[in-house]
């Protein structure tokens, strides 16, 4: 989807990317992480040994909003602790 939109909007100078996060601790996920068995299960599958924080996702947003990613378009940005590798 992001590639098609990037092709469509690129001529107007608009970059289209998606951020694909792993489990992130946030107000909406506290119900999940409040259950010890579920939290342990999720943590056991992480490679870096921790649950994501909102700041982890914000850093990806800052990168995409900056000139450092001026040629990045049509890309999924995985902020997922290689969750998708399993």
Alpha-carbon gap, residue 40 to 33, rounded angstroms: 9
Q: Where are the domains of the chain?
A: 2-85
Question: pLDDT at residue 85 above 90?
Answer: no
Question: pLDDT at residue 86 above 70?
Answer: no
The pTM (predicted TM-score) of the whole model is 0.79
Environment class of 9 (CB within 10 Å of its CB; exposed 0-12, middle 13-18, buried 19+): middle
Q: Which CATH architecture has domain 2-85?
A: 3-Layer(aba) Sandwich (3.40)
């Amino acid at each position: 989807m992001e590639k098609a939109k990037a092709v469509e909007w690129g001529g107007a100078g608009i970059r289209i990317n998606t951020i694909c996060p792993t489990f992130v601790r946030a107000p909406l996920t506290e119900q999940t992480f409040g259950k010890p068995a579920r939290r342990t299960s999720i943590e056991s599958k992480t490679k870096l040994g921790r649950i994501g924080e909102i700041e982890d996702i914000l850093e990806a947003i800052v990168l995409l909003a900056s000139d450092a990613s001026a040629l990045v378009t049509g890309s999924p940005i995985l902020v997922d602790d290689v969750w998708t590798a399993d």
